[in-house]
Amino acid sequence: MRAIFTAFLIWLTASCAMAQDLSGLARLDAAGSGIEDGWFGRTTLTLSLSQGVPFRVFTLDNPARLVADFREVDFEGVVASDLLAEVGRVTAVRFGPFRPGWSRLVLDLAEPMLPAQVGMPVDQASGRAALKITMKAVDAEHFSSKARAPDDTDWGVQAAAAPAPPTPDSFVIVIDPGHGGIDPGAVRESTSEKELMLAIGRDLRDALRRAGGVEVVMTRDEDVFVSLPGRVALAHQVGADAFVSLHADALSQGQARGATVYTLSDEASDAASAQLAAQHDRADILAGIDLSGADDEVATVLMEIARTETMPRTETLATALIDAMRAAGGPMNKRPRREAGFSVLKSADIPSVLVEVGFLSDARDLANLRDPVWRTMMVDALAQGILNWRDADAATRPLIRQ
């Protein structure tokens, strides 16, 4: 059920701003920061910062979360356990870049709590600041009535700035490096999915541009968070002819290895595919996005009509990518063509696929993904598959319309 929202919007006072230059990054001092449960249902978050920054605080429901946005805090070197030593009324904490110039911190709440006191006093001599948020337990109905993302900016659908409208008869493809910012995706040792996919996405963009006749748009070209609706919205905004989302996830159940291409289906082709789709949708929730009403934009009947033309083209795109990666040596998954209900693939009128270049949960795939020579081979294969599909689609699309 859609919650009724109210936001807390808090900015530094003018006197705080005059005390220091707010243009640089504020750095978090983990030693002076933490989350502590107190008496009478109160919990306090303390963040020790090298300088004061503008910030805002709000809550979201289903599940209960407290979100703080900063302009801007550097969390480098800080891990979640530095802030949350043990689980209590706060069960988990996440933080990181959210969009250009902004950082986000999200607390998962074990019970409904609303901010009772919020402040960021700044030491006039040193410029250091301490954000303190004291939360108080409330009943679920009261929490829901107050929980809402701010109305001033649509933080849920931010994406890369769209380029100028494409020229007539141009081929436009949107490359979507998975995850980013506060959402690292899969992580194995020092390797994160968001960094790998951004590198592969940039290389794929460059390879396609070198081929000529292709206009490439990236959903993100830096380490920022972009919501699933935001990625899809950008593809529509630029009039994309195809959408390719890049991932290298990890699966906790079963064995997954080798490149795999996913297309949209309401019913997953197997349990592993269903698990992956659920993980992807949960990423937006973990990053503090309000997903209520996200599926109400287009009538189901109209979407099904559009997919009558789009799905055959999507299937041939998936096949072209699989054939090209297999010809380059892969390695491929034993069942490289799969289906699942990935939200990022739900454009009814744009052929859309999700490519698992490999799985970080598999030792062989992890070694390949870390190898720049292998990545170059895979990028070239993906580019060739896209170009092969573009040429074949241009020849057969009129027949599909008939």
* Predicted local distance difference test score (pLDDT) of residue 250: 86
- pLDDT of the residue at 152: 54
CATH of domain 14-151: 2.60.40.3500
CA torsion, points 351, 354, 357, 362, in degrees to nearest 10? -160
Q: How far from chain centre, in Å, is Cα 10? A: 25
Q: Is 376 helix (H, G, I), strand (E, B) or coil?
A: helix
How high is the pLDDT of residue 329? Answer: 93
pTM of the model: 0.76
**pLDDT at position 251:** 81
pLDDT at 12 over 50: no
Q: What percent of the chain shows pLDDT beyond 70?
A: 78
Report domain extents, the chain. 14-151, 156-401
What count of residues does the chain have?
402
Query: CB–CB of 259/332 below 8 Å?
Result: yes
Question: What is the C-alpha separation between 209 and 217, in angstroms, rounded?
Answer: 11
Please report the DSSP string for 377-399 in residue order.
HHHHHHHHHHHHHHHHHHHHHHH
Q: Rounded CA gap, 376 and 374, in Å?
A: 5
The pair phi, psi for residue 259, each rounded to 5°, is -65, 140
Contacts of 378 (CB under 8 A, 6+ apart): 200, 259, 325, 328, 357, 368
**Residues 314-349 pLDDT 10s:** 999 999 999 999 999 999 999 999 988 888 887 778
Interval 243-283: pLDDT, tens? 999 999 888 666 788 999 998 876 666 676 677 777 776 67
- The CATH code that applies to domain 156-401 is 3.40.630.40
43-82 exposure pattern, b = at least 16 Cβ within 10 A, e = fewer:
bebebbbbbbbbbbbbbbbeebbbbbbbbbbbbeebeeeb
